[in-house]
Structure 1
Amino acid sequence: MSIDNYNYSAISKVLNAVQYFGDLNPKLLGAIIGVKEATGIMETLRKKSTFSVTFIARERIMGLRKYFVSLKIPPTMISLVDLYEVLDGFPSFIGRDFNSPENTIMIIPFPKGKTDFIRALEELADAGLVHNLIVRKFVRQYQFYTDFSTFDFEKNTFKENFLVKPRSPLILPDLSDGFRPDWLDLAIMGKKQENNKRTLKEIASLLNVPYRVALKHYQEHIIGRSLVEGYVMRWDNSDITRLTILFKRDENFLRELTRIPTLTHAADLDDGTSVAFIFADQHMIPGIMDYVAYLRLKFKMDAKVMVHLFKPRFKYLLAASIPYEHYTESRTWVYDLDKMLQRARELARKLELLPLPTSYPPTDNIP
């Protein structure tokens, strides 16, 4: 069935609800919101390859601490895949700025109380491959649902670049109450993040567990125990680009940024800065850049916009699942620091380094 056979208000209602409850049980979703066509709408959107949904994990409950890392690397020498492999698959996001390719950021969830990944990055710094390394902790996260009220479902794009009013954060309650997830909980989440279009039945098959077992873990643990902090819904468009905005913490500045309908989540960092993440069609980017410039003047503060193109693949952006492969059946996180250090040394040797500058021109307070 074509998506045009459904009422657009019903489609928007389903898509908004998915960002509260996820997409792995559309029948239950339809019952909750009173849209009996919910299952058909979701199946049609999946077949049309229009939308995909992924988890924003609540890492604290999993025993992880999330870090925001910024650094400068020679873009012609080190790829994003190189960094991912050196850090043994722990980064959930690595982004290189299209306009300043030496500027790179990473989001790294790592076992609580451990920061050994920094030693691997310092190994690269000692080899002259990394400069201006800054590591910050996430202290608070904000989730915002994508507003589809101005979305054109026929053209698969947004009609308007900005909303009339700012949005409030979407707050899902923390029901963990000391709960510790098991390996299957994290594997289900990881498999979904690896391929956002997977259904729960497909994930159960991949993990070689009965569907009813996977459904029980999804409903009672992943949802019931708040392993999910929110959901990010992305529409598939060849022109889509990811943006990162770094700015000094200011709740009014962030509030105005939420008028961008595709700002999905944001976070406060432990050094007084904040970061916001946006998925944008190409035609939206000039307007967003102008809007950020306007907000800089209005609030008399600095802000930096980084552009991460999806293509060529892995050149400017690498997104990955939670590092569930490092979580054991005994509910502990494991990693091999020696392996990380060895990979860093091997990368340095492979590149047969030429002399590189030991410093970069001075920058402002926001890396």
Structure 2
Amino acid sequence: MLIEKEYLKLSEILYYLQRFGDLNPKIISAISKIRDAEKLIQWLRENYHYRLYPFPRYEDLGLKKYYVTIYSNYYRISLLDLYDTFDGITTFIFRDVNNPLVINAAIYFTSTSFDKVLDYLQDEGIIFHYDIHKVDEEKFYPIDYSIFNFNKGVFEGLLSSPRKPFELPDLTEGFSPDDLDVKILGKKQERADISLKDLSSLLGVSFKDVLYHTQAHVIGKGLIKFYSVYLYKPDFRLEVSFKEEEVLEELSKIPSMYYVYKLDDKSYVANIRDSSSTLLSYLKFISSLKEKDTIETYLHPYDQQYMITASIPYEHFEKGRWNFNTEVMMLRAEKLVKKIEKEEENKKEEND
């Protein structure tokens, strides 16, 4: 059973981990002035579902980020099929549990030329509408563990005051990442708990090279904007769409709101991950803000039927450049259309 003093130590360590990462726990100990920080970080790894997730500085990787909303004509369209259709360029695809015809996706690409796939799916009647918006700005909010019950593994209530966003400085200064830099970053997103030793084996590269590229390039050149630390397996993810800055400040009182992006139409999309015990209180709080703004909420359970998440599309980065092929996507889209048509035919035969 933890005591209050230990609560404070852990929440402060988690505060610094989300700013500096955990590659060298001695740095966290020095900055926080908590002598046993290294032991406490190890204790967190052993006793919780500890994950340190890096957010990439994708602009310096030569990518743009797009937020896509798809309005489908079919409830049962597979999110994994959509992911495969777009050849792995989506970092997430989510289906709203309250309206399964609404699918939200984030796409890393170099332009909007992937829209030809959406046009084709629309022409074939698979979807009836879609919206594409470029992500113009990102805001990162370190998860606030000051009101986290470490014994129960849950957040207890809302914060008393708004939080401020944080972002690590951009140190690229014209630096061009190589293939190994991009693979390291992508693999760390895929498996946030992977060690550098295991990563070197996975990539077939010496530990020395992986360590150097991680320290000198991925971290040293600022290819990571921010880290999120999770101590629990989330049950759900909420996306909250709104336009007023005042609403953003209020939403930052939710301790597990970790990421917000501003789209090219000036609207915001806030992202919240948490366990089911907090869902009702969060929804009530968000509902109370609707007198300030027009707010839309999308609920995504952690289930493959409703959620597919992925890393940056590092498989498409070769010899220092991105190699995307929209023709491959079009061929896969054609296969998807045929698959759905076949499923509908079988369904009709069963009903007859």
TM class by smaller structure: over 0.9
Q: Does 1:83 find its partner at 2:79?
A: no
- Residue 10 of structure 1 and its aligned partner are, at CA, apart by 2.1
**Residue aligning to 2:349:** none
Q: Does 1:241 find its partner at 2:239?
A: no
**Residue aligning to 2:350:** none
Q: Map 1:249-328; keep pairs closer than 5 Å.
A: 250-297=244-291, 299=292, 301-311=293-303, 314-328=304-318
- Residue 37 of structure 1 and its aligned partner are, at CA, apart by 2.8
CA contact (8 A) 2:181 2:213 kept: yes
Structure 1 residues 116-158: Cα deviation after superposition (integer angstroms, max 9, x where no partner): 2111122211111112200000001000011100111111111
Structure 1 residues 14-42: Cα deviation after superposition (integer angstroms, max 9, x where no partner): 21111001123323332333334333323
Structure 1 residues 337-361: Cα deviation after superposition (integer angstroms, max 9, x where no partner): 1110000001101222659xxxxxx
CA contact (8 A) 2:74 2:126 kept: no
- Residue 75 of structure 1 and its aligned partner are, at CA, apart by 4.8
Distance (Å, rounded) in 2 between the aligned partners of 1:29 and 1:125: 51
The residue type paired with residue 147 of structure 1 is D
* 1:28–1:202 CA distance, 2 compared to 1 (3 A): farther
- Residue 49 of structure 1 and its aligned partner are, at CA, apart by 4.0
**Residue aligning to 1:152:** 149
- Residue 94 of structure 1 and its aligned partner are, at CA, apart by 0.8
Distance (Å, rounded) in 2 between the aligned partners of 1:235 and 1:127: 44
SS in 2 for 1:92: strand
Distance (Å, rounded) in 2 between the aligned partners of 1:26 and 1:309: 33
The residue type paired with residue 310 of structure 2 is A
Distance (Å, rounded) in 2 between the aligned partners of 1:178 and 1:30: 32
Structure 1 residues 242-264: Cα deviation after superposition (integer angstroms, max 9, x where no partner): 1100112x211101110011100
The residue type paired with residue 314 of structure 2 is Y
CA contact (8 A) 1:3 1:45 kept: no
Distance (Å, rounded) in 2 between the aligned partners of 1:260 and 1:34: 28
Which of 342, 345, 359 is matched with 2:331 structurally?
342
CA contact (8 A) 1:242 1:308 kept: yes
Provide the TM-score with structure 1 as the length reference.
0.89
* 1:198–1:75 CA distance, 2 compared to 1 (3 A): farther
Provide the TM-score with structure 2 as the length reference.
0.92
Distance (Å, rounded) in 1 between the aligned partners of 2:310 and 2:145: 26
Q: Map 1:95-110; keep pairs closer than 5 Å.
A: 95-110=94-109
**Residue aligning to 2:115:** 118
**Residue aligning to 1:363:** none
Root mean square deviation of aligned Cα:
2.0
Unaligned runs of 5+ in 2: 346-352
SS in 2 for 1:7: helix
Structure 1 residues 38-96: Cα deviation after superposition (integer angstroms, max 9, x where no partner): 33323332233422111111110000000000011245431110110000001001111
Distance (Å, rounded) in 1 between the aligned partners of 2:207 and 2:18: 23
**Residue aligning to 1:142:** 139
- Residue 180 of structure 1 and its aligned partner are, at CA, apart by 1.1
CA contact (8 A) 1:24 1:199 kept: no
**Residue aligning to 1:56:** 55
The residue type paired with residue 302 of structure 2 is F
| Between 102-111 and 202-211, the greater mean CA deviation after superposition | 202-211
Distance (Å, rounded) in 2 between the aligned partners of 1:50 and 1:36: 24
Unaligned runs of 5+ in 1: 356-367
| Between 185-194 and 48-57, the greater mean CA deviation after superposition | 48-57
| Between 12-21 and 56-65, the greater mean CA deviation after superposition | 12-21
Identity %: 34
Which of 181, 192, 200 is matched with 1:185 structurally?
181
* 1:53–1:348 CA distance, 2 compared to 1 (3 A): same
Alignment coverage as a number of residue pairs? 344
Distance (Å, rounded) in 1 between the aligned partners of 2:48 and 2:255: 21
Distance (Å, rounded) in 2 between the aligned partners of 1:211 and 1:110: 30
